[in-house]
Amino acid sequence: MKKNKGFTLMELLVVVAIIAALATIAFTVIQSSRSKADQASALTKMRSLGTAFGSYVADSSGLLPLEDAVGSNDWQTAAKPESQEVWYNALPRLMSAPTVGELGESNPAGFYDKGYPLCIPGAPYPGANKRLGSPMFAVAMNSRLQRKDENGEKKPVPMVRIMEPSKTVIFFERGLPNDKKTLPGQSGFDGSPKGNARAFAARHNQQGALIFVDGHAEMHKASDLLTPTGKIIMPQTAVVWSLNADDDPN
C-alpha cells in the first residue's frame, strides 16, 4: 500500500511564493483602481469649482474672488465679514454648500466630508487633531494672479487682465504635508488656500488636476509645469501662471 507523500520544503516555498505574488498583483490592481476612481472624482469636483468660479465672475462685474484672507489660515479668519469674498467662502456659497467660515463656527469636520465641494478624493488629509484645528486645503487658488498694488494691498483682479484664459491656471490640486513631492525642487506643501506651481500635488498616478480661467480642467504631471529644481517652466506656452504669459511667475 502506497503512502501519501507530504509536501517537500521546496514545494512549500514555491506555493508560498506564488501566493505572495498573487497577493501583490491583487493589491496593485486594487490600488490602481482606487487611484483612478479618486482621480475621476477629483476631476469632477474641480470642474464644479471651475463652474462656480465662472458664475462668480459673471455676477461680480468681471472681478475674481480673493485668493486668501488677511491673517492666519484658520477657522476664525475664514468666518470674518471681510473674508466673505475669498474664494473658499464665495464659491461654496454658489454651490449651495456651507462656506468654510460657516463650517468653522459649527461643523469643522464637515470640511473633510467627501460630499463637501472642497474635499478632494485621494488627498492625504492629516489626523483629526490637526485637521480640526484649521482647514487644510487640498485645492488652492493660483497666487500669481492677485498682485500687490503700489500701496501694498491686494485687490480683486479684473478678468480682462488675464490675457490667455484658456491657458491660465486658476485652481490646482495643492500639496498637503503628507503628500509626496514628485520633483526635488517642490515646496509649500502646507495646505494653505493659495499657492503657486511649486505646491502642485500629482497625487493620482503621478498626475494632478488643474482648472483654467475659462473653466476647463486638465490632468498634468509636475514635470509639465516645473523644472527639477522647482522653477516654473518658461516660456509659458501650454500652461500659464501669470496674468500675461510673458511675465515670469518665478
CB 217 within 8 A of CB 209: yes
pLDDT of residue 153: 77
Q: How would you classify the pairing of strands 169-173 and 194-195?
A: unpaired
pLDDT of residue 148: 74
Does residue 48 sit in helix, strand or coil? helix
DSSP letter assigned to residue 189 = -
Query: Cell 498682485, residue?
Result: 147
pLDDT of residue 37: 79
Residue 177's alpha-carbon distances to 131, 189, 190, 242, in angstroms, are 11, 5, 5, 26
Successive 10-residue mean pLDDT values, the chain, 250 residues = 60 73 61 68 92 96 94 92 96 97 95 95 89 94 87 85 97 96 94 97 94 95 95 96 95
